[in-house]
Structure formats: C-alpha cells, structure tokens
C-alpha cells in the first residue's frame, strides 16, 4: 500500500488524504475484504482505514521522511521518497530479469 501511495504522490504535487485515497483505490484491485466496513470508521471501507493509517505521522511513510505533511491532511513526496521509488523500481526490474533468466523465457506472463 505504501508503495502505491508514493506512486500517487510521485509528481511532487501536494494531495489531500481524500485525493490520495481515491487515486490509490483506482490503482489497486479491491477485494471483498477491502470493501468491508472499517472497524474504527463505520462510514468508510476497510481500505480507506488502511490508507489513512499509512498516512499517519508515526507510520513509515512520514516517520522515515518518504512523504511530508504540508498542511492539515495534505501530503507531498520528499526527495527521500523519490529516491526510494527509484530504488524500488530498480529492485523490481532486477527481480523480473532474474525470473526471466531462471524460467528461460523472454517475457513473464
């Protein structure tokens, strides 16, 4: 979830919690469990609670400086977050190449 949030913020524009939540939900496949009512927020789905929790100051994204709060409920990716995304993508690419080598195929299906 955190990686998707970083991708949503990747363009460097500050976004509200609501905008982040909407964009994340558009990028992922929501399961029936994701759509269940949140325990602590009865007017929201469980996925909304998960995203909101990931944006809290004590959670990794803010705590490790990958995103910064620029206003009440507004977030922006930081240089550290951009660097993390670059490294994350390089790691994923390397893993995909390794799988191709191991499977002996030109592409993964």
CA 15 – CA 73 distance, rounded (Å): 8
- The closest alpha carbon to 20, from 12, 9, 31, 28, belongs to 9
Helix (H, G, I), strand (E, B) or coil at 32: coil
CA 81 – CA 15 distance, rounded (Å): 15
- Residue 107 DSSP one-character state: S
pLDDT of the residue at 62 = 96
Residue 80 predicted with pLDDT over 60: yes
Q: Which helix (H) or strand (E) holds 70?
A: strand 67-71
The whole-number average pLDDT for the span 4-33 is 96
pLDDT of the residue at 42 = 80
Give 109 or 33, the one with higher predicted confidence: 33
Instruction: Band the pLDDT of 76: cuts 50, 70, 90.
Output: very high
Mean pLDDT, the chain, integer = 91
Write the pLDDT tens digit of every residue in 90-109.
999 888 888 888 887 665 55
- Residue 44 DSSP one-character state: S
């Amino acid at each position: 979830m955190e990686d998707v949030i970083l991708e949503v913020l990747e363009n460097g524009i500050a976004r509200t919690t609501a905008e982040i939540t909407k964009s994340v939900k558009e990028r992922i496949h929501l399961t029936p469990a994701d759509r269940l009512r949140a325990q602590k927020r009865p007017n929201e789905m469980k996925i909304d609670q998960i995203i909101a929790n990931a944006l809290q100051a004590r959670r990794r994204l803010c705590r490790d400086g990958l995103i910064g709060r620029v206003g009440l409920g507004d977030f922006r990716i930081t240089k550290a977050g951009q660097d993390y995304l670059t490294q994350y993508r390089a790691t994923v690419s390397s893993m995909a190449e390794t799988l191709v080598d191991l499977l002996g195929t030109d592409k993964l299906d």
